[in-house]
Amino acid sequence: MVEERSTILVIRFSALGDLALTIPVVKRFLDCYPEKKIIFLSDQNMAGLFEGIDRLLFIGVDLKGKQKGLFGIYRIFQLLKRNYSFDAIADLHGVIRSYLLTLLLRTLKKPLAVIDKGRFEKFALTRKENKIYRPLKHTTERYTAVFRELGFSFELPMPDPSQMRTNGTHKGSIIRIGFAPFAKHLPKMYVLDKMLEVISHFNKEGYELYFFGGGAVERAFIQEWERRFTYAKAFDRNSGWKGESEVIKSLHLMVTMDSANMHLASLMGVRVVSVWGATHPHAGFYGWGQDLLDAVQVSLPCRPCSVFGNRECWRGDHACMNQIEPSMIISRVEQAIS
């Protein structure tokens, strides 16, 4: 019986954007079942995402260190078995690592449900020929279905896009725009020279511009832009996730790729204008509660060619991004903030 399962072990290791999409699901679950608790197992670097969620215990593991590989999976199993009590298991990842871990967890005789990632549907959407072109389930729906399989019946209503803020915390009439022009895979990135044209358009009185990126190379670009653009505002990136999230919350609008920043801004109720190339909103990874009209993209028979943007361009010219003119992004941003 559902009533007897007081604590659910939830497994989802990466990536950041996919992990961010678990948050509305676990929050909704905890709201609907106030007597339940969640133990959330993930990469230790993701702990900041889950701070402040009542009745959720985050367990971080070192997947690149002592808990790496097959022996690492066994160590995670031992960690869970020895130190934590749970009554059911929800695998929201559905990859080899989580499969092997749940194989060990089955020995504990707990109810277990694994995500259906819709791999065939996604293959049909992204294959080179004879595409089946239709919107697939949003990733949050797939996460919710795992809980339903365990016997927890609840709905996850998609937020109304009109509720997304375009009036962030600001001083006077200053409009604050964030730019996150980077992505993990190059086919998901807009040409930086063209993005600089977009940024230049808003580099004027009445605006404040903020830049977001992670690695050392991205930070080098950002430092240059903060020197180059008169109305760019630097902020302390050493303050961790909490400090950066406060900056995002203050924005009127965020301009992103199909990337983690799109999801992070969405969770904070910030309107996002997103730029799409090799990937497509139809694959189910669109920003939570965002308006599809705010997705800037061009229609090509080869799109989408990938779910994650990790394949080389079949055409060889990256037309999906190169055919997007800066004016298209500028127009969408101006409509959003008008």
**pLDDT, position 155:** 93
pLDDT at 170: 46
| Domain parsing of the chain, residue ranges | 2-149, 161-337
pLDDT for position 240: 73
The top-level CATH class assigned to 161-337 is alpha beta
* Helix runs in the chain, H state only: 16-20, 23-32, 69-83, 96-105, 119-126, 139-149, 192-201, 216-228, 240-249, 260-267, 319-322, 326-337
User: What is the reported pLDDT for 172?
Assistant: 58
Q: What is the pLDDT of residue 169?
A: 47
Tokens of 189: 């990135």
Q: Tens-of-pLDDT digits for all 338 residues of the chain?
A: 344 569 999 999 988 999 999 999 999 999 999 999 999 999 999 999 999 999 999 999 999 999 999 999 999 999 999 999 999 999 999 999 999 999 999 999 999 999 999 999 999 999 999 999 999 999 999 999 999 999 999 999 988 887 776 655 444 589 999 999 999 999 999 999 999 999 999 999 999 999 999 888 999 999 999 999 999 999 988 777 788 899 999 999 999 999 999 999 999 999 999 999 999 999 999 999 999 999 999 999 999 999 999 999 999 999 999 999 999 999 999 999 98
CATH of 2-149, one of 3.30.470.20, 3.60.20.10, 3.40.50.2300, 3.40.50.2000: 3.40.50.2000
Q: Which amino acid is at 257?
A: M
Structure tokens at 23: 């948050």
Taking only Cα atoms into account, the Rg of the chain, rounded to an integer number of angstroms, comes to 21
Burial (CB count <10 Å: 0-12, 13-18, 19+), residue 55: middle
Is there a common fold for 2-149 and 161-337? yes
Contact 141, 156 (CB under 8 A): yes
| Rounded distance between C-alpha atoms, residue 92 and residue 62, angstroms | 19
User: Do residues 217 and 183 make contact, with C-beta atoms less than 8 angstroms apart?
Assistant: no
Q: How far is CA 16 from CA 23, 123, 206, in A?
A: 11, 22, 33
